[in-house]
Structure 1
Amino acid sequence: MMRARMLAIGLALTSGALFPGGEARAERLIVSVSNHRVTVTPNYAGEELVLFGSVEKDDKTPPHRGNYDLVVTVSGPRADMVTRRKERRFGIWVNNDYRQFLKVPTYLAIFSNRPIDAIATTEVQRRQQLGLNNVLLTQRVGPDYADVVPQDAFRSAFVRLRSEHGLYRDDSSAVIFLTPTLFRTGIPLPGEVPIGTYTVEIKLFADGALVTRADTAFEIVKVGFEQFVATSARQNGFVYGLVTALMALMTGWMASIVFRKD
């Protein structure tokens, strides 16, 4: 039942990405980011990229078109993650239950120029996955796979924990229109930002309807010794683990000598 529901949602999302009647788009978005390759060094403490762009109109643009709304979704590399629930037993905290999240974004930021509820209806929000509450976060629920309601305890805890580390964000005033067609927004990247490729999806709305969309991307990479360590761990896992264990033993042995009491 849940798999069938997920299939239906996927079909709805696919059909929602098409424009009614196959009409030609009257506007198009021109977008770019200030840096398409962010390098992470040992002293990296985070930074902020700038997404900027403009709305280009043509002769098909309705003359009565009002103000535009913009929703920007930034998604980091995907991975499987687990949220655990703990409870106190006999004076100690133990894991009581857990929920596995499958192929979810390690970084997720949704920015807009005003509250999502003021931009689109609830149905459009769900179909276009506008806002953290409407983004699909697939979970393993017993033998099935599905997303659940935003109020689900595990989902809420997962989003809250990612948000506390600056890895999940939802800001309804981050997009700024400098002119009626020129816009910008910042993309904050915390110090513990995951390595990989980040996709940026920009959706333009007018009068509550999706008008057009555009995509861009940037990459976060490690350089220097950190890159060497990451590559070694990925390509030679056994050797990396062995060397790490030996280094830990050596560090402990040296510490016992330095702090030994005669």
Structure 2
Amino acid sequence: MTWAGRLAVLATAFVLGLGTLGAARAERLIVSVSNHRVTVTSNYTGEQLVLFGSVERDAQTPAARSSYDLVVTVSGPRTDLVTRRKERKFGIWVNVDSRQFLQVPSYLAVFANRPFDAMAAPELQRRLQLGLDHVLLTQRVGPDYADVVASDPFRSAYVRLRGEHGLYREDTHAVTFLTPTLFRTTIPLPAEVPIGSYDVEIKLLADGALVTKTETAFEIVKVGFEQFVATAARQQPLLYGLITVMMALLTGWLASEIFRRD
């Protein structure tokens, strides 16, 4: 067979393979969020977004499949953070060890319609990163870079501290199926929520296996005076510093005048 003939056979096989893959997809997800752009002003105290969607079935969907499981993972801007361990020595609390977390989500939330153990085997939970215990949080461990087990004291302390501020959370009863194919969940955004882009990944499971997944996104931005201050500090740091010093001096002078004793 000539090279042209071989290429034609390969091209035909590739097209047939794509057609097989397309035909094998029995469901797809259609999702959206209530607001794709959250604005933060001086009186911002938090907000809740609503994620809603549906499972679109087709002729390839098994007739016996009547229920689904859904896992929603929301991750905010990535950053480097350090967790420190302190001990009391000679009556003083001092840092004795630390662990650096590299490019981890500053906000991380995982929502599901039921406990992860009920929807997937442990190995699949690890592979799909279902739940905070299985989401990869890369750390610098000596000269290496790796994630560690969920029970690692630094990892568990990091997740706990972020959770106390509402920035890391997990709720296995947050997703509600309104009908067998319509679902919704809320995404709470606390007052301390970081500014930036947020990725939302939705995984659909059935009978202990991944069926399909999709993604959406939203962003959190500052507006008004807060945005002006943040932009000035980033783009014109010298001018920002001078204005800050002048405002501090003016405030001090006004206070001295107001409270001056005659």
| Match of residue 184 from structure 2 | 184
- 2:138 corresponds to 1:168: no
Deviation (angstroms), 1:83:
1.1
Summarize deviations over 1:96-120 as a string: whole Å, max 9, x none: 2211111100100000000011111
Q: Is contact 2:28–2:56 with CA below 8 Å preserved after alignment? A: yes
| Match of residue 16 from structure 1 | none
Provide TM-score, normalisation by structure 1.
Answer: 0.86
Task: Show structure 1 runs of 5+ residues with no match.
Answer: 1-20
SS of the residue 1:132 aligns to: coil
Summarize deviations over 1:59-108 as a string: whole Å, max 9, x none: 11111113100000001011111111122233332222211111100100
| Match of residue 73 from structure 1 | 73
Deviation (angstroms), 1:254:
4.8
Structure 1 stretches of 4+ with a deviation exceeding 3 A read 241-262
* Aligned CA-pair RMSD: 2.0
Bigger Cα Rg: 2
- 2:127 corresponds to 1:110: no
Q: Is contact 1:66–1:207 with CA below 8 Å preserved after alignment? A: no
| Match of residue 138 from structure 2 | 138
The amino acid across from 2:229 in the alignment is: V
Mapped partners of 1:30, 1:95: distance in 2: 49
| Match of residue 152 from structure 1 | 152
Task: Show structure 2 runs of 5+ residues with no match.
Answer: 1-20
| Match of residue 205 from structure 1 | 205
Deviation (angstroms), 1:166:
0.4
SS of the residue 1:157 aligns to: helix
Mapped partners of 1:87, 1:238: distance in 2: 40
**Cα 1:55–1:98, aligned 2, differ >3 Å: closer, same or farther?**
same
The amino acid across from 2:31 in the alignment is: V
**Cα 1:83–1:248, aligned 2, differ >3 Å: closer, same or farther?**
farther
Provide TM-score, normalisation by structure 2.
Answer: 0.86
Q: Is contact 1:39–1:223 with CA below 8 Å preserved after alignment? A: yes
Mapped partners of 2:155, 2:261: distance in 1: 51
**Cα 1:54–1:85, aligned 2, differ >3 Å: closer, same or farther?**
same
| Match of residue 17 from structure 2 | none
Structure-to-structure mapping, 1:50-61, within 5 angstroms: 50-61=50-61
**Cα 1:176–1:42, aligned 2, differ >3 Å: closer, same or farther?**
same
- 2:94 corresponds to 1:82: no
- 2:41 corresponds to 1:41: yes
Mapped partners of 1:207, 1:160: distance in 2: 32
**Size of the alignment, in residue pairs?**
243
Deviation (angstroms), 1:258:
5.0
Q: Is contact 2:66–2:180 with CA below 8 Å preserved after alignment? A: no
**Cα 1:193–1:211, aligned 2, differ >3 Å: closer, same or farther?**
same
Mapped partners of 2:173, 2:201: distance in 1: 17
Summarize deviations over 1:149-193 as a string: whole Å, max 9, x none: 111111111100100100001000000000000000000000111
Deviation (angstroms), 1:250:
4.7
